[in-house]
């Protein structure tokens, strides 16, 4: 580890006006973004309350009417004259960090803005049927009081069901339930020709069911989903476990925290999360659901982390490094959304003093700034600066390679803290875009089971060390190196992030066979942009998009094979 602890020597970087703008961007955040964000959140809350006041029958009636509008809109499209189909959602509204440049080409918009209702909570079937714009804050507010929850609840309130299905969704319970899309029982999709179909894992549209995850909405328009519910309790009993040593030791401490070497399933916690704060220190957190009666027993500590004046969660967890292992009880819904207020640790860059005692008490109730408004208040130069001088990436790697991934991030990016979250990558009957390593079930590695290989999201979110020290840093080159490392180690890069992959490399990382079969079978070619082109960095002209679609039959993944 001695070589890792010495940062690479890089030349100093000459500052430009953009550096100073970013440094003092907090002024815009304080006086513009935060007030508008608070207003926006309040209006959304009122809309959610209005939706909840309606009966399920009325919500279903509105849903049916809105689906008819979508079908009519698609059937009225002239394929020869109109552009490729995409939603009418403005590019800056998306929570993802990549440039939504595909909407700069001429396109045919379909408005899905009304699809934001919870259509049914079925306690008998343990299913929640929801529309794609329902977000995590909305669904947890409706289900947690019933002692029910989605099996996987992504941490940030603003993340929507549609984005988590078509893109990527993970949470501390994913080591048991898989990724968000793995908890979906059925998709309701409007296909290119305007047909409404319901895809499940065992009906005539089972191929579409397995192709939807990671497709970025390029196979059809999602209008509803049926998602698995689980029974929960009022509190999360959370244990904070400090781990010290080199990065490989931190990785092993993380693995041992939730994957018992003896395979005893009774030792597996309900929730797992790890944070690596520097090359020698990390804190692993394991949680189990607890009743209100247990939490309120004499001697137990209850921590309401959701209050606006509370320390930011990642900083609170860091205190375990000094005071040692400790246990506390957190109200379940507050635990689910523990990273919302500070956007993991990105809030420290957005508002350098946002974690201070005085700010939390006076203005903490305005947090967090809405990501979409942060994006709306940055121009092209600022956006490009963040792409080059900032890292927001998730590296999905096999569990046994977490230590190697941590060492790679330290060597090439020097980003801390690093988020660790395990997830089971199921061996599906039909291979989708992401899949376990061939033959993993014969290796008997720690954490793996017969039906799935354990992976981990290595979350890299912050300004790299060289940038913080004023040194040169090539963000694009660092991402290219990361993508190459992932391909070589059977890892995956979620497509919400900025990608430097060319088309051949994209289909080396992902399996395109089922996706391309469904593109042809359900006539998505010529109607929806391909997933690679939608994820591709940079501006897209209509000519480029058309040419890419014409070259569809000679896809790069076939060449890679």
What is the DSSP code string of 506-535? HHHHS--HHHHHHHHHTT-TTTB--HHHHH
Looking up tokens 């934001």 gives 116
How far out from the chain centre does Cα 81 lie? 35
Please give the pLDDT value at position 266. Answer: 82
Please give the pLDDT value at position 78. Answer: 87
Q: Write the CB contacts of 181 (distance below 8 Å, at least 6 apart in sequence).
A: 164, 165, 169, 212, 213, 214
User: Which long-range contacts link 449-453 to residues 24+ away (Cβ below 8 Å)?
Assistant: 449/424, 451/426, 451/427, 452/178, 452/424, 452/425, 452/426, 452/427, 453/398, 453/399, 453/424, 453/425, 453/427
Q: Are 57-231 and 384-498 in the same CATH fold?
A: no
In eight-state DSSP terms, residue 179 is S
In this structure, the strands spanning 84-87 and 107-110 are: parallel
Please give the pLDDT value at position 382. Answer: 84
Please give the pLDDT value at position 96. Answer: 54
Q: State the alpha helices, DSSP H only, in 114-273.
A: 136-143, 161-166, 174-177, 206-211, 247-258
Q: 387 by DSSP, 3-state: which? A: helix
Q: 238 by DSSP, 3-state: which? A: strand
Q: Write the secondary structure of 24-58 as one string of H (helix), E (strand) and C (coil).
A: CCHHHHHHHHHHHHHHHHHHHHHHHHHHHHCCHHH
| Cross-strand partners of 109 | 86
Q: Which CATH number fits domain 57-231: 3.30.465.10, 3.90.180.10, 3.40.109.10, 3.90.1170.50?
A: 3.30.465.10
Q: State the alpha helices, DSSP H only, in 245-319.
A: 247-258, 292-295, 313-318
Calpha distance 503→480 (Å, rounded): 13
Around Cβ 127, how many Cβ atoms within 10 Å?
Answer: 18
The answer to whether 130 touches 161, Cβ cutoff 8 Å, is: yes
Please give the pLDDT value at position 7. Answer: 55
Write out the two tokens for 349.
């860059």
Tens-of-pLDDT digits for all 561 residues of the chain? 444 555 567 888 888 888 888 889 999 999 999 999 999 999 999 999 999 999 999 999 999 999 999 999 999 998 878 878 888 776 655 655 555 555 555 578 899 999 999 999 999 999 999 999 999 999 999 999 999 999 999 988 999 999 999 999 999 999 999 999 999 999 999 999 999 999 999 999 999 999 999 999 999 999 999 999 999 999 999 999 999 999 999 999 999 999 988 877 888 999 999 999 999 999 999 999 999 999 999 999 999 999 999 999 999 999 999 999 999 999 999 999 999 999 999 999 999 999 999 999 999 999 999 988 888 888 778 888 888 899 999 999 999 999 999 999 999 999 999 999 999 999 999 999 999 999 999 999 999 999 999 999 999 999 999 999 999 999 999 999 999 999 999 999 998 888 899 999 999 999 999 999 999 999 999 889 889 888 876 655 556 666 666 665 454 444 444
In degrees and rounded to multiples of 5, residue 85 shows phi and psi of -80, 135
Calpha distance 519→347 (Å, rounded): 40
Please give the pLDDT value at position 557. Answer: 44
Which class is domain 384-498? Answer: alpha beta
Please give the pLDDT value at position 553. Answer: 44
Please give the pLDDT value at position 320. Answer: 98
Q: Left (φ > 0), alpha (ψ -120 to 50) or beta: where does 217 sit? A: left
Looking up tokens 């328009």 gives 221
Please give the pLDDT value at position 540. Answer: 57
* E strand spans, 195-346: 196-199, 221-231, 235-244, 271-278, 281-290, 326-331
Calpha distance 69→306 (Å, rounded): 39
The domain spans of the chain are 57-231, 384-498
Calpha distance 460→498 (Å, rounded): 13
Please give the pLDDT value at position 248. Answer: 97
Q: Structure pTM?
A: 0.92
Please give the pLDDT value at position 132. Answer: 96
């Amino acid at each position: 580890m001695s070589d890792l602890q010495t940062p690479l020597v890089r030349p100093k970087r000459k500052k430009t006006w953009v550096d100073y703008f970013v440094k003092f961007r907090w002024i815009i955040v304080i006086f513009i973004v935060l007030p508008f964000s608070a207003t926006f959140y309040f209006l959304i809350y009122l809309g959610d309350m209005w939706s909840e006041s309606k009966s399920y029958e009325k919500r279903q009636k509105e849903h049916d009417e809105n689906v008819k509008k979508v079908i009519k809109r698609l059937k009225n499209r002239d394929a020869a004259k109109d552009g490729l189909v995409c939603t009418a959602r403005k590019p800056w509204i998306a929570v993802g960090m990549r440039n939504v440049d595909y909407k700069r080409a001429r396109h045919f918009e379909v408005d899905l803005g009304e699809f934001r209702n919870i259509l049914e909570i079925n306690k008998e079937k343990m299913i929640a049927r929801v529309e794609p714009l329902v977000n995590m804050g909305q669904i947890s507010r409706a289900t947690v009081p019933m002692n029910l929850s989605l099996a996987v609840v992504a941490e940030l309130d603003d993340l929507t069901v549609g984005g988590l299905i078509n893109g990527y969704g993970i949470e501390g319970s994913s080591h048991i339930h898989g990724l968000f899309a793995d908890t979906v029982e059925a998709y309701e999709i409007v296909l290119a020709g305007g047909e409404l179909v319901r895809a499940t894992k065992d009906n005539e549209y089972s191929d579409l069911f397995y192709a939807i995850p990671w497709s970025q909405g390029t196979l059809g328009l999602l209008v509803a989903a049926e998602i698995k519910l689980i029974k929960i309790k009022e509190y999360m009993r959370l244990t904070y476990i400090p781990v010290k040593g080199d990065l490989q030791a931190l990785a092993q401490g993380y693995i041992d925290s939730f994957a018992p070497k003896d395979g005893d399933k009774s030792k597996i916690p309900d929730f797992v999360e790890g944070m690596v704060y520097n090359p020698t220190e990390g804190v692993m957190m394991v949680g189990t659901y607890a009743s209100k009666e247990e939490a309120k027993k004499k001697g137990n500590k209850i921590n309401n982390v959701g209050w606006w004046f509370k320390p930011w969660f990642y900083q609170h967890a860091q205190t375990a490094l000094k005071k040692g292992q400790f246990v506390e009880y957190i109200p379940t819904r507050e635990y689910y959304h523990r990273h919302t207020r500070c956007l993991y640790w990105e809030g420290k860059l957005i508002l350098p003093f946002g974690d201070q005692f005085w700010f939390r008490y006076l203005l903490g109730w305005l947090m967090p700034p809405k990501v979409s408004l942060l994006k709306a208040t940055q121009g092209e130069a600022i956006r490009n600066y963040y792409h080059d001088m900032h890292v927001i990436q998730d590296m999905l790697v096999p569990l046994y390679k977490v230590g190697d991934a941590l060492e790679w991030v330290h060597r090439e990016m020097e980003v801390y803290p690093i988020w660790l979250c395990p997830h089971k990558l199921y061996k599906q009957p039909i291979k989708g875009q992401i899949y376990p390593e061939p033959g993993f079930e014969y290796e008997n590695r720690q954490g793996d089971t017969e039906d799935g290989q354990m992976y981990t999201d290595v979350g890299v979110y912050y300004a790299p060390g060289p940038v913080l020290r004023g040194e040169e840093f090539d963000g694009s080159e660092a991402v290219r190196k990361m993508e190459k490392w992932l391909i070589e180690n059977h890892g995956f890069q979620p497509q919400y992030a900025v990608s430097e992959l060319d088309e051949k490399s994209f289909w080396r990382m992902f399996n395109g066979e089922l996706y391309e079969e469904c593109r042809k079978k359900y006539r998505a070619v010529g109607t929806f942009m391909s997933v690679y082109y939608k994820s591709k960095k940079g501006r897209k002209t209509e000519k480029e998009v058309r040419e890419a679609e014409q070259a569809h039959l000679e896809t790069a993944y076939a060449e890679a094979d």
